[in-house]
A and B are shown apart, each in its own frame.
Chain A
Amino acid sequence: MSSGLLPKGDPALSSTDAHILRLIAAGLSCLALLVISACAPAPPFTFGNKIQEPDYDTIVPGKTTRADVLKIFGMPMAIAERDEALNLRSGSIWLNTGVVHGAPYIQRADSFFELFRDNNEIKDHHRIYYYYYTYSYKTGIVALFYVHEKERLSQRHLWLLVNERTGIVEDAFFQYKDSPGRRPLGVPKKEGSLRH
C-alpha cells in the first residue's frame, strides 16, 4: 500500500489508491482552471457623479437654478472662477494588465470659460460648475492558457455657466465619449457634444 500522495513506483499500489490519485490530479486541474478564471471579470471603476443625456436635457438656460443643478447632479467637481488654477482629479481606469489610478492635476479655469465666451458676456460674478463622470470596465475570455481582455472607458463632462448673483444657469455644454464597443447601461450615444 502507498502511504503518500506521490507513490515511488510501488508495484503493490492498489486500484483504489490509483483511483484516489486520479481524482486528486483531476481536482488540481479544476482548481487551476478556477484560479485562472479569476483574471476574467473585473469590477468597474466609476468616478464622479453620474451624468446622463436626459438629465442634461432638463437644463433650460435662463430658467434652471443652481439649486436645481445641485439636486440633479449633486456637488460639482469644481466651481471655477476666472483666472483661477483648478485642482481637479482624474478617475482610475482599467488597462488589461491592471489599474492606472486616478491622480490630482491642475487646470486653468480660463480654458473652461472659452466654452461660453462667444455667446455670453463673462463677468466677475460668473462661475462654471464642472461635473466629470468616468466609467471604466473590462471584460475577459479565459480558455486555459489563452486570455483575451478588452477595456472600455466612458467619459462625461458637463460645464454649466452660473450667474452667482441670480443663481441662474445661463449656458451649458455637455461632452460625451465612449471607447469603441459595448457601452454601459443607459448611455445611448458614442461621441459628441451638446449645447443649448
Chain B
Amino acid sequence: MKTYSMTVKGLIMTALMLGGCMAQTSSFVSSNPLQSYDPGVSLRPGITTRQDVIKALGPPLTLARQGGKIIVYPDEVIPRGGTETSSDVYFEIFRDRYELRDDYIIYYYQSVVGSTGTMVVVAAGSTDIKAYVSKLWVLIDDRTGKVIDYEFRPAAKR
C-alpha cells in the first residue's frame, strides 16, 4: 500500500512539474536611455542645448516640425509598425503655454517597461504582457538650438 501511494505521488509530481514554471510575474526594463534620465535635472529651459539632449538620449524617435508629418507607434515593448499623422498633435501640448513659431521643433522620446505575468497549471497556461511607456517631448528653438520647455509623462505605476 505504501509503495502504491509513493508511485501515485511520483506521478502527480511529474504531472505538476511538466506544467513548467508555475505562476510568476516580473517586469522587464527595456534598454532605453530614458530609464536613467531625469528631465527635471537635465533639461533646463534656455540653457540646455539640442546637442546636450542628443548626447544624453541619442537621436529622437520622432522629430516634429510645424505643419509636417510624424510617425506614431503603439505602446509596445519594442517598436512596431508606425502610423503617419500630423505633427500638430505634438505641438498641441505646448500651444497654451507659448506662441509657437515656425522654427520651433519637438524631439520625442519614449521608454518602455514591459511587465509580464504567467499562470501555468499542468499543461495549460496563459501569459500576459503589458507595456508601460514613459514619454518625453522636448520643445526646442531651432534658431538658437536651446530647449524652451518639455513635457514628461512617466509610465503609470505598476
**Interchain CB contact under 8 A, B10 and A25:** yes
Separation in Å of the B136 CB from the closest CB of chain A?
A: 14
- Give the contact stretch, choosing among A48-56, A63-71, A143-151: A143-151
Q: In this assembly, does B134 line the interface, its C-beta being within 8 Å of a C-beta of chain A?
A: no
- For A178, the chain B residues whose CB sits under 8 A away are 31
Q: In the assembled complex, which residues on chain A have CB atoms less than 8 Å from the CB atom of B81?
A: 103-106
**Is there a chain A Cβ closer than 8 Å to B129's Cβ?**
yes
- Assess the A96–B24 pair: CB atoms within 8 A: yes
- Asked if A100 and B21 sit within 8 Å, CB to CB, the answer is no
Cβ 8 A contact of B78, one of A6, A90, A177, A193: A90
Does A159 sit within 8 A of B, measured CB to CB? yes
B7-25 at interface with A (beta carbon < 8 Å):
7-11, 13-14, 16-18, 20-22, 24
Whether the Cβ atoms of B78 and A32 lie closer than 8 Å is no
> CB within 8 A of B71: which of A29, A36, A85, A97?
A85
Let me know if A175 and B6 touch, CB within 8 A. no
**Inter-subunit contact B7/A21 (CB<8 Å):** yes
Mask, A2-33, CB within 8 Å of B = 1, is: 00011111000100011001101110110111
Residues of B within 8 A of A115 (CB): 54, 58-59
Q: How far apart sit A25 and B4, CA to CA, in the bound complex (Å)? A: 10
Most buried by A among B7, B28, B51, B54: B28
Is A107 part of the binding interface, using a Cβ–Cβ cutoff of 8 Å? yes
On whether the beta carbons of B4 and A179 are closer than 8 Å, the reply is no
* A108 vs B17: C-alpha distance when bound (angstroms): 48
For chain B, the count of residues having a C-beta within 8 Å of the partner chain is 56
Provide the residues of chain B in CB contact with A114, threshold 8 Å. Answer: 50, 54, 59-60, 63, 107
Rounded to whole Å, the gap between the CB of B138 and the closest CB of chain A is 11
Q: Which of A26, A102, A177, A191 has the most CB of B within 10 A?
A: A177
Q: What secondary structure prevails in chain B residues at the interface with A? A: mixed
Q: Please, which residue of chain A has its CB at the minimum distance from the CB of B81?
A: A105
Is B154 among interface residues, defined by CB-CB distance under 8 A?
Answer: no
Question: CB of B39 within 8 A of chain A?
Answer: no
Whether the pair B28, A151 counts as a contact (CB closer than 8 A) is: yes
Q: A97-B116, A193-B58 are in contact. Are A25 and B63 (CB under 8 A)?
A: no
Chain B interfacial positions (CB closer than 8 Å to A): 1, 3-4, 6-11, 13-14, 16-18, 20-22, 24, 26, 28-33, 36, 50-51, 54-56, 58-63, 69-71, 73, 77-82, 84, 107, 114, 116-118, 127, 129, 145
Can you give 30 A-B contacts (C-beta < 8 A)? A18-B3, A21-B6, A22-B3, A25-B7, A33-B17, A35-B14, A90-B78, A90-B79, A95-B77, A96-B24, A96-B28, A96-B118, A97-B24, A103-B79, A103-B80, A105-B73, A105-B82, A106-B71, A106-B82, A106-B84, A108-B63, A108-B69, A108-B70, A111-B63, A114-B50, A114-B54, A147-B21, A147-B24, A179-B29, A179-B30
